[in-house]
């Protein structure tokens, strides 16, 4: 039986050590690593209960943690020491498929809403080095902003299978986009798609942000839109594709 006091201790630890409400300058950049490595993984190993995480997969090397921000936002976090999008190991064949793990983690978003959202209403996002507060690889999993969903629907005829600029900015930022067909991301490495498909991005991956949004393509088949943005591509742009998500999940209400 779980000790109620231990639950309070875990909650206090999470609240004290981890809040992405803080700006990058204010946040402890190792907070996620401390929670996952100091609590979730040991708890999974010793008791099979990964608290305060929702899930720890020791085989594939990732954890799922409810973010303190929003009702439906979850983070998929590497359990190995991986700083973020700038790690070129993520692009190599056989690298852990963190984006597929994040796509699978949409079950927690749906669970929080108590219904299954259409695939196009859920997105995954990893921010650039300058646009994040944590130095442990984490992918944001949450609902998409309704205006972004509509913008992607409007732009769908112009989104092809290689990287190209969207016809209109998203939230004032000039995103590039491409699409792939598939129900899941098991056979796809989004990091490699960006690094090899856009040489400028591949040269400075730390300046990139990458989002993956579920889609139903024009032929009715399931697929995904990939979105990327670069630090400085617009004034004040820190390349945080998390901005495309809605942590209040209006689209789910």
Q: How many domains does the chain have?
A: 1
> Residue 8 is part of a domain; what is its CATH number?
3.30.428.30
For residue 52, say if its preceding peptide bond is cis, omega within 30 degrees of 0.
yes
Residue numbers of the domain that contains 28: 4-252
Q: What is the pLDDT of residue 20?
A: 41
Q: Which candidate, 165, 159, 173, places its Cα nearest to that of 120? A: 159
Residue 96 has φ and ψ, to the nearest 5°, of -55, 135
Contacts of 61 (CB under 8 A, 6+ apart): 78, 79, 80, 96
**For residue 19, is pLDDT > 50?**
no
Q: For residue 7, what are its two tokens?
A: 């639950």
Q: Give residue 14's pLDDT.
A: 41
Helix spans in the chain (H): 4-17, 31-35, 41-47, 98-104, 106-113, 146-155, 190-197, 199-203
Residue 26 has a pLDDT of 60
pLDDT in tens, 129-142: 999 999 999 999 99
Three-state DSSP class for residue 130: coil
Mean of per-residue pLDDT scores for the chain:
91
Supply 123's token pair.
């997105």
Question: Which value, to the nearest 10 degrees, does the dihedral of the CA atoms of residues 221, 160, 77, 15 take?
Answer: -90
Query: Kind of pairing, strands 74-78 and 176-181?
Result: unpaired
């Amino acid at each position: 039986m779980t000790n109620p006091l231990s639950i309070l201790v875990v909650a206090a630890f999470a609240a004290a050590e981890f809040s992405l409400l803080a700006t990058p300058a204010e946040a402890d950049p190792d907070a996620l690593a401390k929670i996952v490595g100091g609590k979730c993984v040991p708890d999974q190993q010793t008791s099979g209960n990964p608290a305060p995480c929702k899930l720890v997969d020791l085989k594939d090397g990732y954890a799922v943690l409810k973010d303190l921000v929003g009702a439906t936002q979850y983070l998929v976090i590497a359990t190995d020491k991986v700083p973020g999008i700038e790690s070129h190991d993520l692009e190599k064949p056989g690298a852990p498929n963190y984006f597929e793990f994040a796509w699978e983690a949409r079950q927690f978003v749906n669970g929080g809403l108590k219904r299954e959202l259409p695939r196009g209403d859920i997105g995954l996002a990893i921010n650039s080095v300058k646009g994040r507060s944590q130095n442990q690889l984490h992918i944001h999993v949450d609902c998409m902003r309704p205006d972004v969903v509509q913008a992607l629907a409007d732009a769908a005829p112009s989104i092809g299978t290689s990287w190209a600029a969207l016809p209109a900015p998203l939230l004032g930022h000039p995103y590039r986009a491409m699409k792939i067909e598939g129900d899941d991301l098991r056979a796809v490495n989004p990091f490699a798609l960006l690094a090899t498909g856009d040489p400028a991005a591949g040269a400075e991956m730390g300046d990139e942000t990458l989002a993956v949004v579920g889609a139903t393509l024009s032929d009715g088949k399931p697929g995904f839109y990939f979105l990327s943005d670069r630090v400085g591509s617009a004034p004040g742009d820190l390349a945080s594709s998390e901005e495309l998500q809605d942590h209040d999940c209006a689209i789910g209400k």
